[in-house]
Structure 1
Amino acid sequence: MGQIRDLETQWTDESIERITTENASLKQRVRQLAQDKRTLEERLQAARSNTRFQDRRISQLEAQLRDAGQKP
């Protein structure tokens, strides 16, 4: 991988089969990485949503504590 192959050489059946197999394997890896990326993006979105919810809840609790402390 990462090497430029001489395009003017004669390809043997074995070479063609190896390259075809390698190509299929790389395509499968790309599909798997794309799926992993989507999963991680969904998890990140959920974590951000949870954080926003928790921030709002903390603000509400702080306001309740402040209001409870001001009552005579």
Structure 2
Amino acid sequence: MEAEWTEQAIQRITAESATLRQRVRHLTADNRTLDERLKAARSNLRFQDRRIADLEAQLASPER
């Protein structure tokens, strides 16, 4: 199926394509930022879990 594209249709599609590419770049950057935050939060949680375990061990052990 062949279709003739008007100059206006080509310009509209080109502009829409550029907008979508920009949106993809923005969403990719947002995703990267959120992924970094998630990794940091998980790391902090692991640290806090270890700290809690250490404190619990200190409470459970007989006093010296």
If the length of structure 1 is used for normalisation, what is the TM-score?
A: 0.82
1:24-48 alpha-carbon deviations (Å, 9 max, x no partner): 0010011011101101110110011
Spell out structure 1 runs of 4+ moving beyond 4 A: none
The residue number in structure 2 matching 1:47 is 41
Unaligned runs of 5+ in 2: none
Percent of residue pairs bearing the same amino acid type: 61
The residue number in structure 2 matching 1:34 is 28
Unaligned runs of 5+ in 1: 1-6
The residue number in structure 2 matching 1:4 is none
Question: SS of the counterpart of 1:43?
Answer: helix
The residue number in structure 2 matching 1:17 is 11
Matched, 1:66 2:64: no
If the length of structure 2 is used for normalisation, what is the TM-score?
A: 0.91
Q: Once superposed, what is the RMSD of the aligned Cα atoms?
A: 1.4
Q: Distance in 2 between matches of 1:10 and 1:24?
A: 21
Q: Distance in 2 between matches of 1:21 and 1:27?
A: 10
Q: Distance in 1 between matches of 2:12 and 2:19?
A: 10
